[in-house]
Structures are given as C-alpha cells and as structure tokens.
Amino acid sequence: MNYLMLSVGRRGELIKDFRASMEEGSKIIATDNSPYAPALYFADKHYLVPKIDAPEYIDTILSICRDEQINVVTTFIDPEIMLLAENRDKFEAVGVEVLAPYIETARLCFDKYELFKYLVQCGVRTAKTWGTYNEIKNALDAGEVSLPVFVKPRTGSGSVGARKINDIDSLRVAFEQDPGLIAQELMTGEGCFDLDADVYVDTITHKAVSIFSKRKISTTLGGANKTISFKDKVFFEFAQDALSHFKFNGPIDADFFYKDGKYYLSEINPRFGGAYLHAYGAGVDFIKMIEKNLHGEANDVVIGNYEEGIVMMMYDSVVIKKL
Amino acid sequence: MNYLMLSVGRRGELIKDFRASMEEGSKIIATDNSPYAPALYFADKHYLVPKIDAPEYIDTILSICRDEQINVVTTFIDPEIMLLAENRDKFEAVGVEVLAPYIETARLCFDKYELFKYLVQCGVRTAKTWGTYNEIKNALDAGEVSLPVFVKPRTGSGSVGARKINDIDSLRVAFEQDPGLIAQELMTGEGCFDLDADVYVDTITHKAVSIFSKRKISTTLGGANKTISFKDKVFFEFAQDALSHFKFNGPIDADFFYKDGKYYLSEINPRFGGAYLHAYGAGVDFIKMIEKNLHGEANDVVIGNYEEGIVMMMYDSVVIKKL
C-alpha cells in the first residue's frame, strides 16, 4: 500500500513505527511546508508543498496522489483535518481512502462548544461548558458551578491558552480580551485524573475496533511526557458508546476525564496522536487495521488486547542533514 | 573506559552517540533520581539514586564509582556542576576524572552577574548587565542603555524567566517581585543573532581544542529546535580568547551574541549540551578527545574541522518499558 502522510512536522518516530508494520512493497510519501520538518527524512520520498491555506494546496496533494499511486492519505495536524473531510470526494475519485472524519464530525471536533452541546444532546457525560461570559456568570450565580473554573479557546488545538481562573473579575477580563473563549467546570483535584485513548475506527463498520488507554505519570519534571497504559472495562464501554455518536474514519486520539468514579469525554483529535508510539510499543497496531480496511475487510473488535503498566518516556532525537 | 553519567534525564540520544564512538570494552553507567528518566535505559547499567541535595548523595555516587571501576564522571544538569567541582578531590582519590569546571569557574558560570563583572575585568565583550533596579535605573537615566531591556534570573538555568521589558514601571515591578533578577541590554533585532558553541576543553592543557558553532534556524513553528552549523575564523578566535580566562575541564556549551559585526559572550553551561548531537552528527567527536585525555595524552587543537550548513532537526522519540 502507498501511504501519503501530510504535514508530518516532527513526527519522525510515527513514520518509523508505520514502516515497521507495513506489508511488503508499501511506501510512505511525506509532505510538509518546511524543509526543516525532520519527519520528511524518514519517508521513502518527500514533497515540499505550499501552506495548507494556499489556493493550489489541494490540487498539489491530489497530483501527488496520482503520481505516486497513493492508496490512503492522512494528516498529522489539526487545521488540515477539515480540509481532508471537505475534499473527501476528490480523493475518492482518484482511488484514495481519506483517514479523516466526515464533515459534521470534523466540525464538532474543531469547536469545543458545539461538541459540548452535541454530547449533552446525545446523553454522553462531558464537563459542563459555557460559551460566553454571561452564561458562565449566570451559572455561577445559580450555583451550578463554583470558582475556580477552566477557560480555553473554543477552537484551539492542544492546551494552548488553557488556564484556571480563580475570581470573577479575572473571568470577565478574560472573556473581554478573547470572546472566543469557553469556560468549563474544573475536572482536577482529589479523585480526578486525565486520560487519553488512541482509538481505531474501522473505515468499513465505522465502529471503534481498538482502544488503547493511558494515563499521565505525575512527575516533578515539567513538561516531560511520560504515560502508563491501563485497562478498565467500564472505561472501554463508556468510550465505545461516546464515540458511536460520531462518524470517524481511521485513527483518532481522544481525551477523557475521570472524576468521582465516572468517566467523561473531553476532546477529540480525529487523527493519529503523537503518542500513538505508546500504543504501538505496547503491541497495538493501527497500520495492520488500515491495511485490512484497504483490502476491503472489516476489522474485528479487539479492544484492550495490550498489557497494563507499560510506560512510555519521551526524549529528544535528531535528524542531521546537509540540505 | 568506564563512564558514569549523572542525572541523565531525557538525554538518551547523547548516550547513543557516546556509545557509537567509545573504544572497545567501554561501558556507560547512568544515574537518575527517577525511574522515568528515559536515558537510563540506553546505558549498560543504571542506578536510581537520591536527589542531588540529599546528604548521602555524593557518597552514593562515589560508591558506584568504586563498584563499577569508573574512569570518568560527568553530569547532564546544571545544578549538579558545582557539586562535582566541590568534590573533585574525592573523585580523584578513587581514580575518577571529573568532567566539570574547577570551583571558581563553576561559580562564575552559575551567577550571571558575577560572570558579567569578571568578563568586563578580563576585557571580554559581553552584553551590558545590571544587578539591581537602582543600577539599571541610573544607567537608563545616564543614557548608557535604553528601553526595552532584557531581564532574567541571576542564577537561572536555560531561558526560564527570561523576558523583554518595555517600560520603567514594569521594570521596577519586576525587580520588586524578584530581587534576584539581572537586567541586560537587548541583543536582538537587525544585525543581531544568537549562536551557540559546543567546546571541548582539554583536561591536560585546559585549552579549547574543539569548537563547533551553530545558529538557530528561524522558523514559524514555536519551540521547534532546528540549528545549522557555521564557521567563522573571527568567531573562533573570539571564543578561544574568551574561554581562556576560565578553568574548564571537558565539554562545555557556550552561548554567544553577534551584534553589528562583533561577537559577545553570553552564558556558559559547563557540561555536555543537549545539542552536542548536532556537533557529533557533523563529525565532531568529544568522546574520542575524552579518551585521549584519559590515556594521559593532550589533544591537538582542531577547531573548525566540520562542514558548514549541516542542519539539525529535533523530534520526539520514546522509550517503551514495563517497569
């Protein structure tokens, strides 16, 4: 199979892992806007392409698909997900499977407030969320939530701009300075933890067929990314139900909260997560599932077939190159 | 040769590079306080040790030196450098070479204001620096410097707490909140750039015998660490002279400014820098120099024997482990 990986950036280790489990005769083509994207140099071939908002971008990518006889395309960055979802037909017309969600789901994943409203409507537990200063002010006055609360950009990626707010004045100022914020009840403290799951959603059945869940290891070293695998039947059932309300297609990375004995869905990045490396290192292999799908076969549900207590520790590696 | 690398943390790639050029029969022993330090797992053997400020710490390390017949010790973290310098005699008593500066030099590297005063005294160009609010206020009033200026912690590591200050009120408040700050003239803008050098200071001649210099590649991707090697005879001469006023011993990582056609010394981390990977990837090999010194031979001066335009791009790799 011929893979096209878009906007590969620093994800060199992902490409190494993919290569290790690809069927014989496969190749990986990688793109990025910058020649300084180290992951480019782990691909069989790479292309430097325009920025994703350039008018000629999609045509450039489609032309690579034709030239390289690509079977499947995906992206490693959030801002490109909607673009793939919107252009699914064009890729399918040249025989390329798009590992990105369908448009409605892509839109929900991109807008945290729309996602909250949709989850409530579906009856999926999630953190209480408010979209304006007046809404959160009313909720505070009515005793539905108490300070501190969490604010974050409605459409942001990762944890950029996310912070705890302790008093009502700071909350008002925060919304004045950035009306694009949302406020959320705090899901931290005693009896709470964050968790993260790498999920493969079959492209034929559109069901979650593999879930790998892991928790952060608390450590005094700031920013160090260390996680440990865990399994809980209750979590797997919650995640399967929660994700069944969307139309994903392929790998996703979903964040959850655990609070007082219950799981909550937090956010969904509908693409390979950077920490898929952990899942792969613990024996979970999404590339094999992608290949099965590309051969026209649905995957069996194999949720939880990995070991608990496997630790992932991140460190810096380098590509050295004369450009 | 048997190497003891202390507080290895995330520096797994350094250990891989060391191993690739060590003479036959050598081994690397690594320590850290945390079992989640990924670099531990690239060593031939590792020890979990107390925190560096524990009263039994040095005895623990000395005991490892004896048990493992260690020839040479170094650390990958700044706070441990002074500890090694202060205990040099104890290590030498068990036959261990300490790759860390002598005490007076360690002290100067640790305190940016003392370093500034020393450099001025030695006639080495450096950024103008002030140690209190009154000093910088007087300098501003006298027209010796103008706003904005840069402030940073006098004894901090890396760029933690470093920031640009635009007005006199913010400057006063900054010093009120943290009297441990220093203020520095701005070395940014047109005609300015930062550069960084990996230097090997021979443990026999105490001269800089190898200098590898590199610049940051400016990029819109925040935090991404990308550097490019460069050579300049004028820089090498400046660096050799600047560093000759100190008593280093082994590898150091020094930061410089270039402004309006002249080089300035900024800061010195007297240990292997994380970006030694770039030097090694471009053909510079400090391990070979360490070995030569350990065999009782001085190294020839080989400054600049590497290629220009070699790019280093950092990416995340992982260690997966059942602990």
Q: Could you read off the pLDDT of B224-262 as tens digits, one per residue? A: 589 999 999 999 999 999 999 999 999 999 999 999 999
Q: Letter for the amino acid at A152?
A: K
Q: Confirm or reject contact between B162 and chain A (CB < 8 A).
A: no
pLDDT at B162: 83
User: What's the token pair of residue B163?
Assistant: 């920031």
Residues 7-26 of A with CB under 8 A from B: 9-13
Q: Confirm or reject contact between A309 and chain B (CB < 8 A).
A: yes
Q: Describe the strand order of the beta sheet including B2-6 as a list of residue ranges.
A: B45-48, B27-32, B2-6, B72-75, B97-98
Closest to A320 in 3D by CA, of B21, B310, B275: B310
Chain A, nearest residue to B38 by Cα: A313
For an interface test with B, the pick among A313, A314, A317, A322 (most B C-beta atoms closer than 10 Å) comes out as A313
Asked if A310 and B321 come within 8 Å (Cβ–Cβ), the reply is yes
pLDDT at B322: 92
**Long-range CB contact pairs, A53-58, < 8 A, 24+:** A57/A83, A58/A83, A58/A87, A58/A90
Closest to B315 (Cβ–Cβ): which among A38, A221, A282?
A38
Beta partners for A165?
Answer: A149
With beta carbons under 8 A apart, name residues in chain B contacting A312: 318-320
Chain B, nearest residue to A10 by Cα: B315
Q: Confirm or reject contact between A157 and chain B (CB < 8 A).
A: no
Q: What is the pLDDT of residues A116-133, one digit of tens each?
A: 999 999 999 999 999 999
Chain B, nearest residue to A322 by Cα: B310
Within 8 A by CB and 6+ apart from B143, the residues are none
With beta carbons under 8 A apart, name residues in chain A contacting B43: none
Q: Confirm or reject contact between B284 and chain A (CB < 8 A).
A: no
Asked if B315 and A39 come within 8 Å (Cβ–Cβ), the reply is yes
> Which run of H or of E encompasses B21?
helix B12-21
With beta carbons under 8 A apart, name residues in chain B contacting A277: 318, 320
Task: State the average pLDDT for chain A.
Answer: 94
ipTM score = 0.86
| pLDDT score of A158 more than 90 | no
Asked if A224 and B278 come within 8 Å (Cβ–Cβ), the reply is no
With beta carbons under 8 A apart, name residues in chain B contacting A36: 217, 219, 224, 226, 311, 313
Q: Are strands A181-184 and A129-130 parallel, antiparallel or unpaired?
A: antiparallel
Q: How confident is the model at residue A218 (pLDDT cuts 50, 70, 90)?
A: low
Asked if B314 and A316 come within 8 Å (Cβ–Cβ), the reply is yes
User: What's the token pair of residue B200?
Assistant: 């090997």
Q: Could you give the CA distance from residue B66 to residue A278 in angstroms, rounded to a whole number? A: 37
pLDDT at A217: 85
Asked if A274 and B38 come within 8 Å (Cβ–Cβ), the reply is no
Closest to B39 (Cβ–Cβ): which among A217, A221, A315?
A315
How many Cβ pairs closer than 8 A exist between chain A and B? 124
Q: Could you give the CA distance from residue A63 to residue A57 in angstroms, rounded to a whole number? A: 10
B130 CA: distance to closest CA in chain A (Å)? 30
Q: For residue A295, how many other CB atoms are within 10 A of its CB?
A: 9
With beta carbons under 8 A apart, name residues in chain B contacting A8: none
Q: Could you give the CA distance from residue B68 to residue B31 in angstroms, rounded to a whole number? A: 13
- Ordered alpha helix ranges (H), chain A: 12-21, 57-67, 81-86, 88-93, 103-110, 112-122, 133-141, 168-177, 233-243, 276-281, 286-294
Q: How confident is the model at residue A275 (pLDDT cuts 50, 70, 90)?
A: confident
Report residues of chain B scoring pLDDT below 70.
Answer: 158-159, 218-224
Asked if A320 and B36 come within 8 Å (Cβ–Cβ), the reply is no
Asked if A281 and B219 come within 8 Å (Cβ–Cβ), the reply is no
Beta partners for B192?
Answer: B259
pLDDT at B85: 98
- For residues B217 and A34, which has the higher predicted lDDT (pLDDT)? A34
pLDDT at A68: 98
HSE, side-chain direction, 13 A CA sphere, residue B58: 14
pLDDT at B160: 72
Q: Could you give the CA distance from residue B181 to residue B132 in angstroms, rounded to a whole number? A: 7
With beta carbons under 8 A apart, name residues in chain A contacting B311: 36, 320-323
Q: Could you give the CA distance from residue A307 to residue A309 in angstroms, rounded to a whole number? A: 7
| pLDDT score of A66 more than 50 | yes
pLDDT at B217: 85
Task: Convert B193-255 into a string of H (helix), E (strand) and C (coil).
Answer: EEEEEEEEECCCCCCEEEEEEEEECCCCCCCCCEEEEECCHHHHHHHHHHHCCCCCCEEEEEE
User: What's the token pair of residue B198?
Assistant: 């990996």
> Which run of H or of E encompasses A130?
strand A129-130
A52 CA: distance to closest CA in chain B (Å)? 14
Q: Confirm or reject contact between B48 and chain A (CB < 8 A).
A: no
Asked if A314 and B318 come within 8 Å (Cβ–Cβ), the reply is yes
Within 8 A by CB and 6+ apart from B55, the residues are none
Mean pLDDT of A143-160: 87
With beta carbons under 8 A apart, name residues in chain A contacting B316: 10, 13, 225, 274, 314-317
pLDDT at B218: 66
pLDDT at A21: 95
Asked if A314 and B309 come within 8 Å (Cβ–Cβ), the reply is no
Q: How confident is the model at residue A216 (pLDDT cuts 50, 70, 90)?
A: confident
Chain A, nearest residue to B277 by Cα: A318
pLDDT at A156: 74
User: What's the token pair of residue A300?
Assistant: 């069996």
Asked if B317 and A312 come within 8 Å (Cβ–Cβ), the reply is no
B137 CA: distance to closest CA in chain A (Å)? 32
DSSP assigned state of A94:
T
Indicate the length of chain B as a whole number.
323
Chain A, nearest residue to B42 by Cα: A315
B79 CA: distance to closest CA in chain A (Å)? 14
Residues 205-224 of A with CB under 8 A from B: 217, 219, 221, 224
Asked if A316 and B9 come within 8 Å (Cβ–Cβ), the reply is no
pTM of the model: 0.89
Q: How confident is the model at residue A222 (pLDDT cuts 50, 70, 90)?
A: very low
- For residues B85 and A163, which has the higher predicted lDDT (pLDDT)? B85
Asked if B311 and A318 come within 8 Å (Cβ–Cβ), the reply is no
Asked if B11 and A315 come within 8 Å (Cβ–Cβ), the reply is yes
B252 CA: distance to closest CA in chain A (Å)? 19
Mean pLDDT of A178-193: 91
